[in-house]
Amino acid sequence: MKIALVGIGKIAVDQHIPAINDSPDWELAATVSRHGSVDGVDAFTDLGDMLDARPDIRVVSLCLPPVPRFAYAMQALAAGRHVMLEKPPGATLAECHALTAKAQADGLSLYATWHSRQADMVAAAKEWLTDKRLTRLHVTWKEDVRRWHPGQDWIWEPGGLGVFDPGINALSIVTDILPHPIHVTGATLKVPENRQTPIAVNLEFHHPQGAQVTADFDWRQEGDQIWMIEAETEAGTLTLTDGGATLKINGERSGTAAPLGGEYPRLYAQMAQLIADGGIDMDLRPMTLVADAYTLGRRETVAPFHD
């Protein structure tokens, strides 16, 4: 299938373009961007122009920041195109529900991707936890924003999510591997005095079986980056590290992890399957937890951040 990629920024260059080019399902037929393009691929600066000029392109993949994404997604759906959304799928839950209703009404496929769920050991962790009684789960997600989001001011503006931009990756894994739903009961949002979104967050959750579930996200990490989920059960401890690429059960490594580069190829394979099945996948649980954290969160002002 021919696909158009909208937003040729860092994530598109690092992940989306290689995944599309290596896939047997897809042909990158056009790009839409004011600042980037791909050699040998039809380039546009306006989505409407691309939709008019290329009726042969059935699918649009959106890699834009969250705030402008709704308008682009709705425009593509209105033109009868299937839509794939980089995470998070929108700036608000209401936007995502509106997109789902439009796709359902028009018989189109819509996919809210959560790339961290495709990390190599997430499925194995989910299977192991299926019949275990959880007693404690803690997430530690700490990275250096300067390394991963250099000069990207949109992440500090309303709708940019701040540290929840990576933190929602952890939440996407947690909501997938736990057999019971959780919800936020408390949050502390640490916001730099010169920014609009948090640089660090502490979260507490309700678990229906009484397990203690907490998370710490921080964008001020220097040195080794930490992406870890530790789940204690009555049958032992499961630890996911490296963003879900490595799994240990009771201290013993389980399986051989593939590189994280496998996440996006799996997303594009899933999108191809959704279109073949006429399906929609808009799991909004990770985004709901973030929205609830903003609703319940106590805001603390911390030192200014300068890129």
Q: Choosing from 2, 10, 87, 132, which is the catalytic residue?
A: 87
Stated as kind and residue range, the H or E segment containing 135 is strand 134-142
Examine residue 181 and state whether it is found in any structural domain, yes or no.
Answer: yes
Q: Is 87 designated active site?
A: yes
CATH number at residue 214: 3.30.360.10
Same domain as 201, residue 141: yes
In this prediction, residue 29 carries a pLDDT of 98
Examine residue 280 and state whether it is found in any structural domain, yes or no.
Answer: no
Residue 129 belongs to domain spanning? 117-255+291-302
Examine residue 207 and state whether it is found in any structural domain, yes or no.
Answer: yes
How many folded domains does the chain comprise? 2
**Over the stretch 13-25, which tens digit does the pLDDT of each residue have?**
999 999 999 999 9
Same domain as 236, residue 137: yes
Same domain as 296, residue 219: yes
In this prediction, residue 208 carries a pLDDT of 97
Stretches where the chain sits below pLDDT 50 are none
Domain stops at, among 112, 144, 165: 112
Examine residue 281 and state whether it is found in any structural domain, yes or no.
Answer: no
Domain stops at, among 92, 112, 132: 112
CA nearest 103: which of 134, 121, 79?
Answer: 79
In this prediction, residue 262 carries a pLDDT of 86
Confidence (pTM): 0.95
Same domain as 108, residue 26: yes
**Over the stretch 214-226, which tens digit does the pLDDT of each residue have?**
999 999 999 999 9
CB of 145 within 8 A of CB of 167? no
In this prediction, residue 274 carries a pLDDT of 98
In this prediction, residue 258 carries a pLDDT of 58
Domain stops at, among 64, 80, 112: 112
In this prediction, residue 106 carries a pLDDT of 98
Same domain as 124, residue 65: no
Whole-number CA gyration radius for the chain: 19
In this prediction, residue 97 carries a pLDDT of 98
Same domain as 223, residue 108: no
Residue 208 phi, psi dihedral angles, 5° rounding: -65, -20
